[in-house]
Amino acid sequence: MEKNNKVAFGKKNYTLMLIGIATLITGFVVMSLDTEPHGFGFIGLTLGPIIVMAGFIIEFFAILHKK
């Protein structure tokens, strides 16, 4: 008898999701490290948001990736 697997995501999906979450957290930490007033330096306005966007893109692919 064939076993029907009803799990929504596979192991690779969950691994990609964890990598995405770690990237998001890293981006927010990088944004908080800016020493300029109100975070208006390069790190707070450019580098941090790019890392956060990369985290969201990883999450997007993690959800849409087929098993």
What does each C-alpha distance from 23 to 6, 7, 10, 57, 63 come to in angstroms?
29, 25, 20, 10, 15
Domain boundaries, given as residue ranges, for the chain: 11-64
pLDDT reported for residue 22: 98
In this predicted model, what pLDDT tens digit does every residue of 29-67 receive, in sequence order? Answer: 999 999 999 889 999 999 999 999 999 999 999 999 987
Contact assessment for residue 20 and residue 66, using Cβ atoms and an 8 Å cutoff: no
Place of tokens 């799990």: 7
pTM: predicted TM-score of the whole model, two decimal places = 0.86
pLDDT score at 27:
97
